[in-house]
Amino acid sequence: MTVHSETVRTERHGSVGVIVIDNPPVNAIAPSVRDGVAAATAELAEDARVAALVLHCAGGTFMAGADIKKLAAAPSRLTSAEVIERLEDVPKPVIAALQGNTLGGGLEYALGCHFRCAAPATSLGVPEVNLGLIPGAGGTQRLPRLVGVEKSLDMIISGKPLSAQEARAAGLVDRLLDGTDVLAEAVVYAQEIITQGGTVRRTRDLPIARVGDQVFTSAAQSAARTRRGEEAPLKAIEAVRGAVEHTFAEGMSIEGEIFAACRASAQSRALRHLFVAERQVGRLPGTDKVTRTESIRRVGVVGAGTMGRGIAMTCANAGFTVVLVETDAAALDRALWGIRETYAGSVSKGRMSEADMQAHLQRIVGSVELERLRDADLVIEAIFEDLAVKVRLFADLHRICKPDAILATNTSALDIDAIAAATPRPGNVIGLHFFSPAHVMRLVEVVRGRQTVTDVIATSLGFIKRLRKLGVLAGNCDGFIGNRMLAGYRREAEFLLLEGATPEQVDDALLQFGMPMGPHVMGDMAGLDISAAARKRRRLEGKLPPDKRVGAVADRLVEAGRLGQKTGAGFYRYEPGARAPLPDPQVHALIEREAARLGIGRRPIGAEEIVERCILPLINEAARIVEEGIALRPGDVDVVWVNGYGFPRYRGGPMWYADELGLERVLATLQRFRTEHGPTYWTPAQLLTRLLEEGRAFRDLN
């Protein structure tokens, strides 16, 4: 055994020389890995006793990608592209022994080897686009030579990995292993190759299929649809085109230039920020070892409506047994039938196996008796949004549940402390605010009440992680993080109508900005009666300022029976049975009447103003949320708005976007709006002013 660097060594298995990479936990491609592989390659290439090389990783996974923290700058030492070239140059067969995650740079090392064998559970992919990058170590040049241009475009643009079996069928893997001892099996495979003459098969020398221009055009069209607004997929297409139209060496330099440009791009910086932020949420400073997450095994869900069903499925999918409680047998039957239907839909779409569906269903037990929650470690309440009803339920839950059980509420807007006060154990009460549909949406706001104890917070965050969701800690306030910010966004979207814009102008501007849909299309989808009812309630509770413009248009629409898509008319009109929103002159007239009634002068409003008016309140409110400690860090707010509200991922979230705009510009625009529209909604958050004075940005608080 020779040690080449702190992470790479070589071994001899007869005439087979093995390069072992050992960089736990995921064999990330650190500088010591690159240097070590280069040195090991040189040693084994020169050793006359070695007839073939195997590239192997210790610890159950191949290289799972580059070290994301090191991506910001160009490597000062050997690049992966150079190391891979040396591997490919070796005049003896080089075999990659793949297992676990073979992703990004990891797959590029495998592509530079002459042969690839893989354990059955290997996952092979190039997810660089998710970070605003393209494969930058020959992936865009070698992959099309192995799997064809179309398949490689598909893999690079989607970023989705192939299973070992799919990779075998695509020509990416030459031999499927049994997987019991990957290294031993790879060595046997290498010996077979030696026996058969030890031919070298360099990927770069394989012919590349010529394809017509329309392959690239249609890939670009599909990327524009599936990854709207993202630059990296289009850049990746250019790089693959380089592989087809140029020599390998020229293609490599095209790829290198595009990669460097992507790495320096604002989109890639934003996406890398989110990658880090999504791994940071759920980490409660100072509580690393105190969670008893493992103690959560049996979950109770009360209320099997829209949310309760989704939450029950999410828990069952993650392996928890769930007791789902409803008020009566008929409602319970409807819910269990609904759950079965949802699972069956996933099975018929090929997203879930029949066996998994059966296993998940078995873990969900329905009941109409609250007493069945006696053994639950955690109960999640998802009944009607009514404080009195919830208070009664929590008193009952306290009576029934184990003393240390966590009692959680899925309320979207009620006061967690008022619910906690219904029990003598407020320290064990917490909000778990799932988003709809709960079995699909990754975001959960974990809302701590005034008295929630740290152990319960940490355990709940750990539990959400076990559900494979993103649990973001929030303080208890009106709307928590996400909905509190949404209020200003919605308010301005409606004020803009009164001031002169049409619903379609507002929606188009925000769609162009990158939101998945405009606020008025969204309102029509959700039902305008729902938000009108919430507004009425909030007005009675004194939570809305006495401003006649709030709800002015939407309330008139509801009065006119225009409740949105479900009635064929809302902010837009809809053809019978169709969902496409169509501009409606009647709505334009209604808006003009309302503006006149309120004495608001109308003027033409451009897209830029629309975006500023709607997005700046998000930023300003987010700053207050961080200032008040409602969110732990700006990155958490970004995670909430990207994952719960569709803020464009490639802009990094509202707070990252504010930093990119520059806080000076943000503050100046807020001050301009304050002058034009008054201080009620436009007084800049103190945190903004303070950070500017200190020459810092939101990102410095992450």
Ligand X SMILES: NC(=O)c1ccc[n+]([C@@H]2O[C@H](COP(=O)([O-])OP(=O)(O)OC[C@H]3O[C@@H](n4cnc5c(N)ncnc54)[C@H](O)[C@@H]3O)[C@@H](O)[C@H]2O)c1
- Helix/strand/coil percent split, the chain, to 5: 55, 15, 35
Stretch that binds ligand X, among 106-114, 283-291, 406-414, 420-428 (CB under 6 A): 406-414
Catalytic residue among 278, 326, 445, 621: 445
Q: Read off the tokens for 113.
A: 């080897």
- Whichever of 385 and 417 has its CB closer to ligand X, that residue is 385
- The amino acid occupying position 639 is V
User: Is residue 477 within 8 Å of 580, Cβ to Cβ?
Assistant: no
The residues with which 9 forms a beta bridge, in sequence order, are: 3, 20
- If you ran DSSP here, which 8-state letter would residue 12 be given? E
445 among known catalytic residues: yes
331 binds ligand X (CB under 6 A): yes
DSSP 321-348: EEEEE-SSHHHHHHHHHHHHHHHHHHHH
294 among known catalytic residues: no
Shortest Cβ distance from residue 639 to ligand X (Å)? 17
- Whichever of 136 and 308 has its CB closer to ligand X, that residue is 308
411 binds ligand X (CB under 6 A): yes
Shortest Cβ distance from residue 328 to ligand X (Å)? 8
Stretch that binds ligand X, among 383-391, 511-519, 562-570, 630-638 (CB under 6 A): 383-391
383 binds ligand X (CB under 6 A): yes
Select from 420, 422, 444, 421 the least CA-distant residue to 430: 420
Q: Are strands 94-98 and 115-118 parallel, antiparallel or unpaired?
A: parallel
Longest dimension (CA), the chain: 92
11 binds ligand X (CB under 6 A): no
Residues 223 and 232: their CA atoms lie apart, in Å, by 10
Catalytic residue among 4, 398, 433, 439: 433
Q: Would residue 653 be called left, alpha or beta, if left means φ above 0 and alpha means ψ between -120 and 50 degrees?
A: left
- Whichever of 389 and 668 has its CB closer to ligand X, that residue is 389
Shortest Cβ distance from residue 146 to ligand X (Å)? 45
303 binds ligand X (CB under 6 A): yes
Catalytic residue among 23, 483, 531, 643: 483
Q: Which residue is it, tokens 């040396």? A: 86
- Whichever of 198 and 305 has its CB closer to ligand X, that residue is 305
Select from 422, 471, 405 the least CA-distant residue to 443: 471
Q: Which residues does 363 contact at the CB level (< 8 Å), separation at least 6?
A: 315, 316, 319, 320, 321, 322
Stretch that binds ligand X, among 175-183, 185-193, 238-246, 385-393 (CB under 6 A): 385-393
**φ/ψ of residue 61, rounded to 5:** -135, 145
Select from 591, 509, 600 the least CA-distant residue to 553: 591
Shortest Cβ distance from residue 433 to ligand X (Å)? 6
Q: Which of 385, 555, 609, 660 binds ligand X (CB under 6 A)?
A: 385
**φ/ψ of residue 298, rounded to 5:** -105, 125
325 binds ligand X (CB under 6 A): yes
Stretch that binds ligand X, among 238-246, 326-334, 536-544, 592-600 (CB under 6 A): 326-334
- Whichever of 260 and 530 has its CB closer to ligand X, that residue is 530
- Whichever of 21 and 302 has its CB closer to ligand X, that residue is 302
Select from 526, 544, 547 the least CA-distant residue to 535: 544
Q: Which residue is it, tokens 């006495």? A: 546
Q: Read off the tokens for 30.
A: 């650190």
Shortest Cβ distance from residue 393 to ligand X (Å)? 5
643 binds ligand X (CB under 6 A): no
307 binds ligand X (CB under 6 A): yes
Residues 576 and 624: their CA atoms lie apart, in Å, by 44
27 binds ligand X (CB under 6 A): no
305 binds ligand X (CB under 6 A): yes
273 among known catalytic residues: no
23 among known catalytic residues: no
DSSP 278-299: HHHTT--TT-TTT--GGG--EE
Catalytic residue among 23, 27, 412, 460: 412
558 binds ligand X (CB under 6 A): no
- If you ran DSSP here, which 8-state letter would residue 198 be given? -
Stretch that binds ligand X, among 131-139, 262-270, 381-389, 682-690 (CB under 6 A): 381-389
Q: Which of 103, 258, 304, 667 binds ligand X (CB under 6 A)?
A: 304
Residues 187 and 174: their CA atoms lie apart, in Å, by 14
127 binds ligand X (CB under 6 A): no
User: Is residue 141 within 8 Å of 250, Cβ to Cβ?
Assistant: no
Q: Which of 15, 280, 306, 702 binds ligand X (CB under 6 A)?
A: 306
Q: Which of residues 435-474 bind ligand X (CB under 6 A)?
A: 436
Shortest Cβ distance from residue 533 to ligand X (Å)? 12
- Whichever of 405 and 501 has its CB closer to ligand X, that residue is 405
Stretch that binds ligand X, among 60-68, 229-237, 378-386, 528-536 (CB under 6 A): 378-386
Q: Which of residues 283-302 bind ligand X (CB under 6 A)?
A: 302
- Residue in the shown chain whose Cβ atom is closest to ligand X: 305
Size of the site for ligand X (CB under 6 A): 22
Shortest Cβ distance from residue 332 to ligand X (Å)? 9
Q: Which of 26, 30, 236, 382 binds ligand X (CB under 6 A)?
A: 382
Stretch that binds ligand X, among 124-132, 143-151, 257-265, 321-329 (CB under 6 A): 321-329
Residues 510 and 493: their CA atoms lie apart, in Å, by 10
Q: Which of 221, 247, 295, 327 binds ligand X (CB under 6 A)?
A: 327
Stretch that binds ligand X, among 53-61, 130-138, 344-352, 409-417 (CB under 6 A): 409-417
Q: Are strands 123-125 and 162-163 parallel, antiparallel or unpaired?
A: antiparallel
User: Is residue 119 within 8 Å of 177, Cβ to Cβ?
Assistant: yes
203 binds ligand X (CB under 6 A): no
Q: Which of 44, 393, 496, 557 binds ligand X (CB under 6 A)?
A: 393
80 binds ligand X (CB under 6 A): no
326 binds ligand X (CB under 6 A): yes
Reported as type and span, the H/E element at residue 153 is helix 149-158
Determine the number of helices (DSSP H) and then strands (DSSP E) in the chain: 29, 18
384 binds ligand X (CB under 6 A): yes
Q: Which of residues 219-258 bind ligand X (CB under 6 A)?
A: none
185 binds ligand X (CB under 6 A): no
**Burial (CB count within 10 angstroms: exposed 0-12, middle 13-18, buried 19+), residue 45:** middle
The residues with which 406 forms a beta bridge, in sequence order, are: 378
The C-alpha angle 546, 550, 552, rounded to 5 degrees, equals: 120
Q: Tell me how long the chain is.
A: 702
Shortest Cβ distance from residue 394 to ligand X (Å)? 10
**Strands across the sheet containing 123-125:** 101-103, 123-125, 162-163
Interface positions with ligand X (CB under 6 A): 302-308, 325-327, 331, 382-385, 389, 393, 410-412, 434, 436
Among all residues, which ones are annotated catalytic?
Answer: 412, 433, 445, 483
